[in-house]
């Protein structure tokens, strides 16, 4: 039996692998990757590589073994993810895996925004499959915001259309640690974890924290949704993705990403990383 991480060369996948190696020997870990060369460093540490592609169902036939514990990290090809995830799930069923953990989105069925639709559909496919499952419904990542910090500082503005809505985000590493706990521990089958940070914050509060830490003038600018969309597309963001960003802000305004359940802190056994620390890290790297 192996603990298998799909999409293991992605930002979340690599962090999960590192967390697993803190808990189990490398020869108990396997990774599913599209490009073996990108995972050569993992192979060099004694981790088994299994080459497969979510978009190529035939390639998934050898991705899993009976008794494996599998983490299905959701794909990033919006609009194609249900079919891709279904191919992974069918391969897991055929192999007889012992656990399929899936990284969905905070709120599950109550997440009523466009980006959540494929996650809801994937969860239903997993339920219908009969596989032993664990749902890791990840909230927003700090990095969704701090990756744009250079632009924020350049313009002195955090732009959005979320109003006074709050975001209970956490560090990507926090979610990775939770996944590793679930994959290496017991008592997690059939469980649903609503994972989010300990503290919810508004975009205005985020802007104020960036200003305080950077010593520069930064403020939150609230835009009407259409204006927000036009700003994003004007900056070169593809229209379809810009529409998703605006729709997520609307969901934040409705409170859909502000839930502080405590599940994440309980799983990882410590407080979640505050957004202030993520800002400090991002400023140090800029």
161-172 pLDDT per residue, tens: 999 999 999 999
Domain borders along the chain are 3-139+171-195
Residue 169: other Cβ atoms inside 10 A: 30
Mean pLDDT over residues 103-118, rounded?
96
Look at residue 256 in the predicted model and tell me its pLDDT: 97
Look at residue 100 in the predicted model and tell me its pLDDT: 98
What is the rounded CA–CA span in Å between residue 163 and residue 125? 35
What is the rounded CA–CA span in Å between residue 55 and residue 230? 32
Q: Closest Cα to residue 115, out of 253, 249, 212? A: 249
- For residue 246, what pLDDT band results from cuts at 50, 70 and 90? very high
**Distance from the Cα of residue 255 to its chain's centroid:** 19
Q: What is the pLDDT of residues 16-72, one digit of tens each?
A: 999 999 999 999 999 999 999 999 999 999 999 999 999 999 999 999 999 999 999
Q: Closest Cα to residue 258, out of 169, 163, 176, 160? A: 169
Look at residue 129 in the predicted model and tell me its pLDDT: 98
- For residue 285, what pLDDT band results from cuts at 50, 70 and 90? confident
Residue 255: other Cβ atoms inside 10 A: 13
The three-class DSSP label of residue 219 is strand
What is the rounded CA–CA span in Å between residue 200 and residue 275? 9
Q: H-helix or E-strand containing 275? A: helix 275-285
Q: Closest Cα to residue 258, out of 198, 218, 208, 217? A: 198
Cβ within 8 Å of residue 82, ≥6 positions away: 118, 121, 122, 125
Which option is the CATH number for 3-139+171-195: 3.90.470.20, 3.30.460.10, 1.20.1290.10, 3.40.50.720? Answer: 3.40.50.720
CB 47 within 8 A of CB 80: no
The three-class DSSP label of residue 257 is coil
The per-residue DSSP string of 99-126 comes to EEEEEEETTGGG--SGGGHHHHHHHHHH
Q: Closest Cα to residue 277, out of 201, 209, 200, 177? A: 209
Tell whether the model's pLDDT for residue 286 goes beyond 90.
Answer: no
Cβ within 8 Å of residue 17, ≥6 positions away: 5, 8, 29, 31, 42, 47
Q: Closest Cα to residue 245, out of 256, 236, 237? A: 237
């Amino acid at each position: 039996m192996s603990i298998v991480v799909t999409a293991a060369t992605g930002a979340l996948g690599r962090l999960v692998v590192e967390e697993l190696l803190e808990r189990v020997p490398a020869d108990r870990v396997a990774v599913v990757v599209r490009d073996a060369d990108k995972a050569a460093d993992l192979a060099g540490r004694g981790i088994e590589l299994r080459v497969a592609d979510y978009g190529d169902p035939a390639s998934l036939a050898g991705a899993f073994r009976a008794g494996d514990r599998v983490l299905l990290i959701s794909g990033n090809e919006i609009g194609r993810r249900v079919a891709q995830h279904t191919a992974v799930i069918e391969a897991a069923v055929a192999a007889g895996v012992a656990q399929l953990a899936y990284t969905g989105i905070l709120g599950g069925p109550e997440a009523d925004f466009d980006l959540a639709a494929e996650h809801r559909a994937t969860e239903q496919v997993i339920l219908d499959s009969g596989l032993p499952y664990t749902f890791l419904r990840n909230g927003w990542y700090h990095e969704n915001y701090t990756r744009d910090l250079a632009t924020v500082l350049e313009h002195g503005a955090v732009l959005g259309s979320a109003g006074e809505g709050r975001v209970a985000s956490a560090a990507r590493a926090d979610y990775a640690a939770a996944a590793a706990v679930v994959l290496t521990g017991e008592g997690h089958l059939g469980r649903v974890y609503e994972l989010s940070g300990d503290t919810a914050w508004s975009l205005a509060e985020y802007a104020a924290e960036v200003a305080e830490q950077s010593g520069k003038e930064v403020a939150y600018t609230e835009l009407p949704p259409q204006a927000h969309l036009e700003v994003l597309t004007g900056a070169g963001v593809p229209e379809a993705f810009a529409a998703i960003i605006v729709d997520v802000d609307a969901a934040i305004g409705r409170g859909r990403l502000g839930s502080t359940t405590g599940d994440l802190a309980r799983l990882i056994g410590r407080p979640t990383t505050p957004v202030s620390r993520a800002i400090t890290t991002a400023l140090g790297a800029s």
